[in-house]
């Protein structure tokens, strides 16, 4: 069993345009992490990131979103902070919707245990 107590110290930016998925995953995260910033698209995510970048430990983003997609948001965030841990969540398992420039790619539907493991891995907490 991994030590999940460290999760209570993590602040997450979560960008997802699907209201149902965003609500479910944000509720799951809010029970486990210190804070969740929610964004409905990449533009809003980037704006939240710029305003709160010193408070955000991890970014979790969908790729297919209106206004600004996840890849554009990731590129902009990485220009600001090239060490920012980022997890992609996507319904597509292909090169257009995944990236080797991020910490982890998770294919939807999101498995909660896989998400927790990815978060811990991306912030440098090993399974122990």
Give the CATH number for residue 69: 3.40.50.2300
pLDDT of residue 43: 98
Task: Tell me: pLDDT of 27 over 50.
Answer: yes
Cα distances from 19 to residues 23, 24, 46, 62, 119, in angstroms, run 6, 9, 18, 12, 22
**Domain total for the chain?**
1
Residue 92 lies in a domain: yes
Residue 103 lies in a domain: yes
Task: Tell me: pLDDT of 1 over 70.
Answer: no
Beta-bridge partners for 107: 90
Give the pTM: 0.93
Residue 60 lies in a domain: yes
Token output for 110: 């999101």
pLDDT class for 4, splitting at 50, 70, 90?
confident
Identify the domain containing residue 39 by its residue range. 5-122
Residue 127 lies in a domain: no
Residue 126 CA to residue 14 CA, distance in Å, equals 22
Residue 58 lies in a domain: yes
pLDDT digits (tens, 9 = 90+) for 32-74: 999 999 999 999 999 999 999 999 999 999 999 999 999 999 9
Once rounded to an integer, what is the mean pLDDT over residues 12-39? 97
Residue 115 lies in a domain: yes
Residue 86 lies in a domain: yes
Residue 128 lies in a domain: no
């Amino acid at each position: 069993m991994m030590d999940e107590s460290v999760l209570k110290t993590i602040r997450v930016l979560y960008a997802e345009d699907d209201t149902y998925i965003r609500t479910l995953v944000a509720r799951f995260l809010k029970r486990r992490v210190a804070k969740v910033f929610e964004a409905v698209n990449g533009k809003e995510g980037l704006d939240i990131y710029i305003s709160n970048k010193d408070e955000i430990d991890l970014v979790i983003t969908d790729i297919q979103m209106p206004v600004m997609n996840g890849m554009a948001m990731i590129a902009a965030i990485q220009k600001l902070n090239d060490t920012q841990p980022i997890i992609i969540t996507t319904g597509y398992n292909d090169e257009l919707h995944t990236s080797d420039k991020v910490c982890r790619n998770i294919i939807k539907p999101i498995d909660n245990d896989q998400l927790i493991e990815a978060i811990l891995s991306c912030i440098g907490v090993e399974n122990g």
